[in-house]
Amino acid sequence: MRPNSIGLIFALIAGAAWAGAQQPKQRPEKSPEEFTRLFEEKSAKPWIRKGAWLTDFDEACAQAKKQGKLVFAYFTRSYAY
């Protein structure tokens, strides 16, 4: 290995360690009522209301298996408290 390569590798490792040590920005705390309001607001949008969404993962898997389809699952925690 050339000396420049060793320096580059060290710099990459140090940069990765520094980036991993940074704390994520804290979001302001929201009350359960605020999360409920946001959820209801988003759920009222037409593209969500008109979809045949399932919120039970096991039920979705059973229905997909019966119909020979795949399951598209989207997990989020934006309304969790």
Alpha helices in 1-81 (DSSP H): 3-21, 32-43, 46-49, 57-67
Residue 13 lies in a domain: no
Specify whether the backbone of 68 is left (phi greater than 0), alpha (psi in -120 to 50) or beta: left
**Residue 30's pLDDT is what?**
78
Q: Residue 50 — pLDDT band, cuts 50, 70, 90?
A: confident
Cα–Cα distance for residue pair 29/49, rounded to 1 Å: 28
Residue 58 lies in a domain: yes
Residue 41 lies in a domain: yes
**8 A C-beta contact, residue 38 and residue 29:** no
**Residue 65's pLDDT is what?**
94
Maximum pairwise Cα distance, the chain: 62
Cα–Cα distance for residue pair 23/26, rounded to 1 Å: 9
Mean pLDDT, the chain, rounded, equals: 77
**Does residue 58 register a pLDDT over 90?**
yes
Determine if the pTM surpasses 0.85. no
Give how many domains the chain has, as a whole number: 1
